[in-house]
Amino acid sequence: MSTPPTPLKRTPLHDIHVALGAKIVPFAGYEMPVQYPTGITAEHKAVRESCGVFDVSHMGEFWVNGARAADFVNYVTTNNVAALAVGQVHYSTILNDRGTIEDDCLIYRFADKVMMVVNASNAPKDYQHIIRHAGAFGVTVHDATEEMTLLAVQGPRTASILQGLTATDLSTIGYYHFIEGEVAGQKAIISRTGYTGEDGFELYIANASAAPIWNALMATDQVTPAGLGARDSLRLEMGMALYGNDIDDTVTPLEANLAWLVKFPKGDFVGRSALEAQKEAGVQKKLVGFTLQDRNFPRHGYPVFFGGEPSGIVCSGTMSPTLGIPIGTAYLPTVAAREGTQFEVEIRGKRVPATVTKPPFYKHASHL
């Protein structure tokens, strides 16, 4: 007898998304809004030019408690947690013993604990993967994913709009920093990281605070609800990796252009020896950005060729709403991973020319 499928989860804002006419799709075990009636392009444009809000409550949050919380997270991730000041955030990767990527994550350092923010589809696996090491460090790891709502408010006008809803001086929160405060009278961890290339803030809040804060944002008449479609096109314009497309457990950070997240001098960490061996032997492939000529639309899974030989598939691809050109990512042999290198993408049986282009594809003057 076959096992019935696991029912999809819903975020605390699900009914609000439905009432707004959002197109709801299955994503990472959740029913998530992929777009609203205005459409992906309009939502994308709102974030680039004004302010958009994403419900990303499907993301996973782990609280690590104990005197050696920072040491533990330092061991199960590649970046150097010891270098983080209290109130600071950094991007990192979680590796397995083969040195390949189990997940990418954000690490938040508090005075007495650490928060790890992981991808929704990987959260259960990540928890099991890291908990094995908790005993050696005398820490506890609590999966708080079901208890927290996460809103990402993004765009050049975000700071001025959000400032009207909080007594916290947002100008004191630097890029990749956070503070504990209130928004619309609700307790919130307010951070300034972002996955769009624009200025913006993330609000980590209790589920009960989700509707009050969402409604307060909407009441400003200056914030556009945005779905996963716009989130994907925005992050790709900035060359930011998406787990399951650009990175997964078949590639290492050295191959995925994430070597800057690997801090060998910090000491031992899961996957270190495998990465050292790869570094010594030489990295054979690299993730590259590319553009196509004309109006060809590169999609995930399209075959890629270099020198007439297969070189995997398109990892991410779209028609850039901001630039109006086709953009994407793919893995090529390291020798080919240079800006300007020509290769081919097969689209509907025809191979079309592609050019290696260093991300970000979209460049503008900003706080970054």
Q: What is the mean pLDDT of residues 13-40?
A: 97
Strands 178-183 and 148-154, bridge-based pairing: unpaired
Q: Are 208 and 191 in contact (CB under 8 A)?
A: no
Q: Are 252 and 262 in contact (CB under 8 A)?
A: no
How far is Cα 163 from Cα 161, in angstroms, rounded to an integer?
Answer: 5
Give 123-162 pLDDT, tens digit per residue: 999 999 999 999 999 999 999 999 999 999 999 999 999 9
What pLDDT score was predicted for residue 293?
87
3-state helix, strand, coil in the chain (%, to 5): 25, 35, 40
Domain spanning 284-356, CATH class: mainly beta
Instruction: Provide the pLDDT confidence category of residue 185 given band limits of 50, 70 and 90.
Output: very high
Q: What is the mean pLDDT of residues 307-313?
A: 96
Q: If we measure between CA atoms, which residue out of 331, 244, 339, 241 comes closest to residue 283?
A: 331
Domain layout of the chain by residue ranges: 8-247, 284-356
69: phi then psi, degrees, rounded to nearest 5: -55, -45
Q: What is the mean pLDDT of residues 39-51?
A: 98
Cβ contacts of residue 124 below 8 Å, gap of 6+? none
Q: If we measure between CA atoms, which residue out of 78, 193, 64, 70 comes closest to residue 131?
A: 64
What pLDDT score was predicted for residue 367?
42
Give 211-268 pLDDT, tens digit per residue: 999 999 999 999 999 999 999 999 999 999 999 999 999 999 999 999 999 999 999 9
What pLDDT score was predicted for residue 6?
78
Global pTM reads 0.96
Domain 8-247 has CATH 3.30.1360.120: yes
Q: Is residue 88 over pLDDT 80? A: yes
Cβ contacts of residue 319 below 8 Å, gap of 6+? 295, 297, 325, 326, 327
Q: If we measure between CA atoms, which residue out of 291, 226, 295 comes closest to residue 44?
A: 226
What pLDDT score was predicted for residue 52?
98
Q: What angle do CA 50, 55, 58 make, to 5 degrees?
A: 145
Q: Is residue 364 over pLDDT 90? A: no
Task: Report the C-alpha dihedral over residues 85, 119, 41, 178, rounded to 10 degrees.
Answer: -20
